[in-house]
Amino acid sequence: MIEIGLLQGTFILRCNGARITLRPMEIRVLLALYCAGGPVESSRLVELLWHMPTQGSHSTLRTHIRRIREKVSAASVLALEEFVITTTPIGGGQWTYELASGIRYDAAEFSALASSGFSAFARGEYQRASDQLRVPHSPSGALSRARIRSSPKRPGAPSP
């Protein structure tokens, strides 16, 4: 399984639980594809990634995509490199790139939980809304909450 974490303050790519280290431009490629939400023509992706594209920008883009696929493949027992970024020829030397389906995104999970929580609230299901909107759905949120509860009381601090 491929997972992309966008909400922890740093970009995280995992393949079957193993964290994959990416270069800054590789991260930008994945972020641009995520934000696009669907197929992006190579020329448009080049414009998004480079303020002033050069003649070699298309080649550089292909290199970054190849490196991302190789890193995912190296971290996987299965040949998952094709399941990160799909490439479709559209003619005239142009391609579309798209993040493959089946990738798990923490941002999508957050949006689904928030939507479910707000819907429950609108229906008057306050406990369900609270459960959906609570922070502990993320490991860092649960850990932060646990640290707050277990921290020793400072002298003069009000009781919780």
Q: Which pLDDT score, from 0 to 100, does residue 157 have? A: 36
Nearest to 97 by CA among 86, 105, 109, 83: 86
Assigned CATH class of 2-102: mainly alpha
The pLDDT score that the predictor gives to residue 96 is 93
CA atoms of 11 and 36, how far apart (whole Å): 17
Regions of the chain short of the pLDDT cut 70: 77-83, 135-160
Of 68, 30, 69, 66, which Cα lies nearest the Cα of 48?
Answer: 30
Q: What is the pLDDT of residue 93?
A: 81
Q: Which residue intervals of the chain bear CATH 1.10.10.10?
A: 2-102
Check residue 60 and give its pLDDT.
95
Q: Tell me, what's the pLDDT at 151?
A: 32
